[in-house]
Amino acid sequence: MSNAKILLVDDEQDILDALQRALRKQSFDVSTAISGFKALEFLKDNAVDIVVSDLSMPGMTGIDLFAQISELYPETVRLMLTAHSDLDHVLEAINTGRVWGYLQKPWDNQNLIVILNQALKARDTATENAILRKTLMRYQKDRKPSFEGFIGDSVVMQFVYSAIEKAAPSSASVFITGPSGAGKEVAAEALHRLSKRRNKPFMAINCAAIPSELMESEIFGHLKGAFSGATSNRDGLATLANEGTLFLDELGEMDILLQAKLLRFIQTGEFSRVGSNKVEKSNIRFIAATNRDPLQAIADKQLREDLFYRLNVIGIDLPALKYRDDDVLQLAIAFLNEFCEEEDKLIAGFSQEAQVLLSNYDWPGNIRQLRNLVHSCVIMTDGPLIEEDVVKQQLKIDRPVLPATTASAKPTVMAHTTSPQASSNGEIIPLAIIERQAIENAIAQCEENVVQAASALGVSPSTLYRKIQQWQD
Ligand SMILES: Nc1ncnc2c1ncn2[C@@H]1O[C@H](COP(=O)(O)OP(=O)(O)OP(=O)(O)O)[C@@H](O)[C@H]1O
C-alpha cells in the first residue's frame, strides 16, 4: 500500500537500520524512534498508520508504549517485534487489544512486508468501523421519534424532517410530492409553524375540491354582483393569507387558465378580485402539493410547466407508508390511543398476528388509510387486543380490493355488489340511484379518497364533490 506511514521503535540502532533497509524498496513512509518516549513525542506531531516496536526496551517497554498509543491513537495499528521467550507477554497484549500482531526476531523480510500490508488492511477496516460507529451514534442521537405532527422515526422520514427544518425559515416556495394520505398537508403545516410567518395565517385550499368556476373567487375574492350568487364582496385567500402561508393542495387539478393567473400573482404579488380592475398586493409564501408525478401532469397538460418550476424552488417528497420501516406500528399504536380515548374504549394493542398483517400490508391509502382502519378496528373490538381477523375484515382483505401497488397508481373500480340495471325483483332502478351507488362504491374502494375515486370513475374531482354536496342538501 503506498504512502502508509510506519514508525519503527527499538533501543538498538542496528535493528532500526536493518528494518529500514528491509522496507526501502517498499512505498512506505518510514520513520524511526530510539525509545518509547521518543516514539510518543513523534506521534504528537505526526499521524502514523503502523507502529512496530521492540518489546524489551529500557525506561518504557513496548507493552507500556502500546498501552499509551491504544489510548491516545486507537486507530494506529500496533505490531510487536519480539524474541521467542517474550511470546506470553505478547499474546496477553494481543488479547487485551493493545497489540494487533507480532513479528519474531530474527524476522524474515518478506514476512515483515506481508504482515505490514495485512496490518494496513486491518487498520482500514478498523477506521471504517470507527467512522460507521460515529455516524451511527450521531444519527441515533439526532434521530427524531416524531416531528411537528408527524409520528415515525424511520430513516426515510428523518430526511423529510431535516428537509422541512432547513426549508422552513426561508421564504422560498416549496413543492411537496408524495402519494395520497402520506402527510403532505402535515408537512405544509410544519413548514409554516417552523417559519417566521408562524404567527400569521396558514390557509389551505384543495384545488380538487372546488368547482373551477368558483376557484378564481376563492383565491382572489370577488365583488358583489361579479357573478350570479355573488351577493356581497368577499375576500379571497390572496387577502386572507397575507403575510402568511398559502397551501395549494392538488395543484394539478386547478383549471389550466387559472394556473396562468396564479403564476402572475406568485411572480408579482399582485392580483385583482373577480369583477374588479383594482390591483391589490399581497405577501404570501406558497406551498403546493400533488399526489401525481408533476412531470407527468405537465406532459398531460394538467399542470403548467412554468408554474411548477416557479413553485418547485424546494422540493420535498414524502415516501409511501410501505417504505417507512416500523413507522406503521408506531402510527397504529398512536392512532389506537387516540381513538380509544375518543370512543371511550380500553384496548391494550394489536395481537402479534395483527401486527404482522399491518407490517406486511401495502397501504395504498397510506397514513390516512391506516388511521381510518385503526378507527374502525377500535369500534369493532370488544376484547383487550385488536385481532388479525378484525384487521382483515376492515381491510376487506377477503373481498376484491384495489391492487396494492403504488399509491399514485390509478385505481380500478371493482364490480358493483348489486346489479346496476335492475333490483332483485326486476324493477328498473332510477339512474340517479345507480350513479350514487357507483360513486359511493368507488369512494369506499378508494379509502375515502375522492380524488382517486374521481380518477377511477373518469370524472373530475369537483364533479364528485358537487354530487356529494347535492345529496347532502
Ligand atoms: N407521519 C404522520 N404521523 C401522524 N399522522 C399523520 C402522518 N402523516 C399523515 N398523517 C395523518 O394522515 C392523514 C392524511 O394526511 P394528509 O392530509 O397530510 O395527507 P396528504 O398527503 O395531504 O393527502 P392527499 O394527497 O390525499 O391530500 C391526516 O389525518 C394526517 O394528520
Give the pLDDT score at 398: 59
Between 410 and 34, whose confidence is greater?
34
Find the 321 Cα to ligand 1 centroid distance in Å: 11
Find the 332 Cα to ligand 1 centroid distance in Å: 13
Give the mean pLDDT of 127-155. 78
C-beta 291 within 6 A of ligand 1: yes
Q: Are 172 and 314 in contact (CB under 8 A)?
A: yes
Give the mean pLDDT of 372-393. 95
Give the pLDDT score at 419: 39
Phi, psi of 114 (to 5 degrees): -60, -45
Taken in order of first residue, the domains within the chain and their CATH numbers are 4-137 (3.40.50.2300), 154-320 (3.40.50.300), 321-405 (1.10.8.60), 413-473 (1.10.10.60)
Here the cell at position 392 is: 382483515
Give the pLDDT score at 327: 95
Q: Which of 22-26, 91-95, 388-392 has the lowest mean pLDDT?
A: 91-95
C-beta 368 within 6 A of ligand 1: yes
Q: Which of 159-168, 226-235, 240-249, 428-437 has the lowest mean pLDDT?
A: 428-437
Give the mean pLDDT of 19-38. 92
Output the DSSP codes for 25-93.
TTTEEEEEESSHHHHHHHHHH---SEEEEES--SSS-HHHHHHHHHHH-TTSEEEEEE-GGGHHHHHHH
Q: Are 368 and 180 in contact (CB under 8 A)?
A: yes
Give the whole-number percent of the chain exceeding pLDDT 70: 88
pLDDT tops 80 at residue 237: yes
pLDDT tops 70 at residue 418: no
Find the 317 Cα to ligand 1 centroid distance in Å: 13
Q: Are 119 and 28 in contact (CB under 8 A)?
A: no
Question: Side chain identity at 131, as an amino acid letter?
Answer: I
Distance CA 63, CA 85 (A): 15
pLDDT tops 50 at residue 297: yes
Work out the mean pLDDT of the chain and round it to a whole number.
86
Give the whole-number percent of the chain exceeding pLDDT 90: 60
Of 113-117, 400-404, 427-431, highest mean pLDDT = 113-117
The helix-helix angle for 327-343 and 352-360 (nearest 10°) equals 120
Between 142 and 109, whose confidence is greater?
109
Q: How confident is the model at residue 105 (pLDDT cuts 50, 70, 90)?
A: confident
Q: Which atom of ligand 1 has the smallest separation from the CA of 249?
A: 27
pLDDT tops 50 at residue 408: no
Phi, psi of 231 (to 5 degrees): -85, -10
Say if strands 349-350 and 314-317 run parallel, antiparallel, or are unpaired: unpaired
Say if strands 234-235 and 221-222 run parallel, antiparallel, or are unpaired: antiparallel
Tens of pLDDT along 119-138? 888 777 777 777 767 766 66
pLDDT tops 80 at residue 411: no
Give the mean pLDDT of 454-466. 72
Positive or negative: CA dihedral 349, 353, 355, 358: negative
pLDDT tops 90 at residue 174: yes
Q: Give the single-character DSSP code of 108.
A: P
Give the mean pLDDT of 193-197. 96
Find the 361 Cα to ligand 1 centroid distance in Å: 18
Of 59-63, 283-287, 396-400, highest mean pLDDT = 283-287
Among protein residues, the one whose CA lies closest to atom 10 of ligand 1: 183
Give the pLDDT score at 349: 94
Q: How confident is the model at residue 422 (pLDDT cuts 50, 70, 90)?
A: very low
Say if strands 150-151 and 146-147 run parallel, antiparallel, or are unpaired: antiparallel
C-beta 5 within 6 A of ligand 1: no
Give the pLDDT score at 462: 65
Among protein residues, the one whose CA lies closest to atom 25 of ligand 1: 180
Give the mean pLDDT of 158-181. 94
- What's the predicted TM-score (pTM) here? 0.62
Tens of pLDDT along 354-368? 999 999 999 999 999
Give the mean pLDDT of 297-324. 95
Give the pLDDT score at 94: 79
For a ligand 1 pocket test, name from 368, 371, 451 the mutation site with the most ligand atoms within 8 angstroms of its C-beta. Answer: 368
Distance CA 120, CA 124 (A): 6
For a ligand 1 pocket test, name from 186, 250, 318 the mutation site with the most ligand atoms within 8 angstroms of its C-beta. Answer: 186
Q: Which of 243-247, 292-296, 395-399, 436-440 has the lowest mean pLDDT?
A: 395-399
pLDDT tops 50 at residue 5: yes
Q: Which atom of ligand 1 has the smallest separation from the CA of 183?
A: 18
pLDDT tops 60 at residue 406: no
Per DSSP (E only), the strands in 149-265 are: 150-151, 174-177, 202-206, 221-222, 234-235, 245-249
Q: Which atom of ligand 1 has the smallest separation from the CA of 334?
A: 4
Single out the residue of 211, 203, 185, 207 nearest to residue 259, CA to CA.
Answer: 207
Find the 288 Cα to ligand 1 centroid distance in Å: 15
pLDDT tops 80 at residue 280: yes
Give the pLDDT score at 177: 96
Find the 450 Cα to ligand 1 centroid distance in Å: 15
Q: Looking at this predicted complex, what is its ipTM?
A: 0.98
